[in-house]
Structures are given as C-alpha cells and as structure tokens.
Amino acid sequence: MTTSTSSIRFNRLELAGSLGDLGTLLPLAIGMIMVNGLSPSGLFLAIGVFYVFAGLYYRVTVPVQPMKVIGAYAIATGLGPSQITASGLLVAIVLLLVGATGAVNLIGKYTPKPVIRGVQLATGTVLMAQGIKFVLGTSTFQAMAQAGEPYLSIQSLGVIPIGLIIGTMGMALTLCFLNDKRFPAGILVILFGLLTGLFFGTHEGFNRLELGIHLPDWLPFGFPSTADFSLALITLVLPQIPMTLGNAVVANADLSREYFGPGSRKVTYKGLCISMGLANVFSFLVGGMPLCHGAGGLAAHYRFGARTAGSNLFIGTLFICLALFLGTHAITLVHLIPFAVLGVLLIFAGSQLAMTIRDVKGSSDLFVIVIMLAMTLATNLAVGFGVGIVLAYALKAGKVSV
C-alpha cells in the first residue's frame, strides 16, 4: 500500500482524489454558514489556503477537514459566529502549545497501535453511517431543512426518495470506475452530482451570482467576548481536543506513513499540530470555521486517486477561487451537489479508513478496537480514544485479560 513520492503531480487521478473528501467537508461547512452565520468567503478562503500551504509544506496529500465535534454541536444548538470563531482561536492556542513544546510527541509515543487502529475503525464507521444518512435524507441538517435534498426541486419519484435513487446511481458509478485511471470515479461522481443539480436544482441565488474580487473582512464578527470564550472552552474546545489529537494527529500521521512511506517524513505529530494551529488562527481572523487534518480525510483522498500534493493544490485553488471571485455567493454553486452524492463519497472514504485494521491479529488488540468502536458509537470519538488508552494499558500490564 505504501506509495513513496516527493514530486507534485497534476493529472486526472490527483484531481479526482482532491474531490474525495467533499462529503465530510461540505455538509458541515454548509450547515455552519446557513445555521450559524459564518462567512462563506472567509470559510472557503481559510479552507483553500490551508490546503495549498499544507500541500506545499508536507509534499504529500494532506487532508483539511472541519472539526466535527465543534461543527456538529454548533449546528445542533445554533451557536453564534463569535462563539465558533472563539473556539477556533482557543483550539489554535492549545495545538500550538502542545506542538511547539513537544508534548504531542509524548502523546504519540505512548499511544498503543490498537488504539490508533481503533480511532481509524471508529472514524471510518462513523463516516459510512453519516454517508448512509445523507443518502436516506436523515442527517441532522436534512432533518432541519425538512427535506432529503433541500436544494433539489424534486424530492421523490413516487414513493422512492430522490436521494436514494441518486445515491444508488452514484454508488454504481463509483464501483464501476473506482480503479479506472482514464475516468476516475471521483470526477465522474462529482460531475454526476453537478449535472443533477443543474437540471433538477432549485437554483436558489443564481440570479445574484456576480463575478468580482471579494477580499475577506478581518474579524467580520468582531473580537469574541469573555463570555464567548468561556462558553466555547467548555462546550466546544474541551470535547474536541482529545478527538483532534487522536484522529487528526496520531492516526493521521500513522496512516500517512502507511500510504506514502519516506515521502511523509514531514508529517509528524509536531508538524500537524503547528499547521492546524496556524490554520485556525487565520480562519479566526477571516470568520471561518475551526479546521483540522484527519485520518478519514486522508483515506478519502487516497481512495479516489490522490498520491501527491497536487491534489491539495487542485482543491485548495478551487476553494480560493470560490472565495475571491464569488464571495458570499460561493455557497450557491456548492448547493448544486446533492447530499446523496456527498454520502457516496463518505461511504467509500469510511470503508477505506475502516479497513486499516487488517493488520491487527491478536485477540487483545481486536478487543480494544471493538470496544473503542462501541464507545464511539454510544458517545463520541474523544471518549472512545480515552477508554481505548486505559484498556490497552490495562491489558498490557496484565490487570485484565480477554
């Protein structure tokens, strides 16, 4: 599976791979724009800049994702933009501190391999489940919109939800072309989604589309208050940090080494913490959402063909162009892609990540992994990560046995 490379390539596979993680990125981005009032231009610009600079520095495919604990809670509770940007700044400070001091290296060193695999299996399973919800129209955002496909003019064919039809066609298309280098599945699925949106979309906001130069506003929501920081710390940041360290740092670096071998030498625990910290400072300044790396995102990009930093430059440039040339209207084009298509991407990305447990053989290690999966599904990944650490060391010390 290892692919060692230090070059940057621009081809169809890199382009297809660059689109592979949109299923994770776009739903939370749309939700935080529509529900929480974040700036579309600032949000997309932060994503694009992070993708480009991460690719240029690490020289291999590096994912950019929303921080899921923060995003999901913020959307569910309707938090204001100042509270969300406050959480991004606080997370940035924590990541820069643990990265610059080297504390994250101790976390990585003493995280047992079955715990890493447990994070990867749990994350992959959650991604697949979310993808299925997108296809069935039962995700949180779709429920809030009271429509399986909020931006399509047709919701069903008879008694069959339109998302199920689109999802089935997208799955079939992906399976047929998943390993095709001439017609990469990632490109075909996104094109299928865009054409569906063009023919059957509501085209909401298209009459207001206007090309121009839209520079971001700095601190568009002002500097957060003490109350904003206090709320963000308790409800958003503290639950997010364990998940970020487990998935976006330790599991992500492990998977990058597995995929790219010596080419991933810069993808270190320290490097990932610092790059995420700096990205969140910038996102805070332009009114974007908290961002991270993530093993699930890396698996998604890799599964659909990404092998070099060329994929980062492709998708990063796209987001930068959306922000700079369309500004707040960039969300209009994003609405063309049906949720069911994003669900298909999530299903395949999640399966790729979940299958990393294939190298685990011992019953004790498998026990840790399945317990982490169960805890994650019952609570969240941060709790699963903590339980996995305790259980792995208890088994290693002979305190318990299975």
* Distance from the Cα of residue 317 to its chain's centroid: 17
> Model confidence at 5, in pLDDT bands (50, 70, 90)?
very low
pLDDT surpassing 70 at residue 3:
no
The DSSP-derived string for 58-121 is H-S----EE-HHHHHHHHHHT--HHHHHHHHHHHHHHHHHHHHTSHHHHHHHTS-HHHHHHHHH
pLDDT above 90 covers what percent of the chain?
55
- Residue-wise pLDDT tens digits, 178-230: 888 888 888 999 999 999 999 999 988 787 777 788 888 899 999 999 999 99
Q: At what angle do helices 162-177 and 339-354 cross, to 10 degrees?
A: 50
What's the CA gap between 282 and 292, in Å, rounded? 13
Residue 395 or residue 2, greater confidence? 395
Token representation of residue 149: 């496909």
- Residue-wise pLDDT tens digits, 346-371: 898 888 888 888 888 888 999 999 99
Per-residue pLDDT at 6: 53
Per-residue pLDDT at 144: 83
- Overall average pLDDT of the 132-152 stretch: 90
In the chain the first and final C-alpha atoms are separated, in Å, by 31
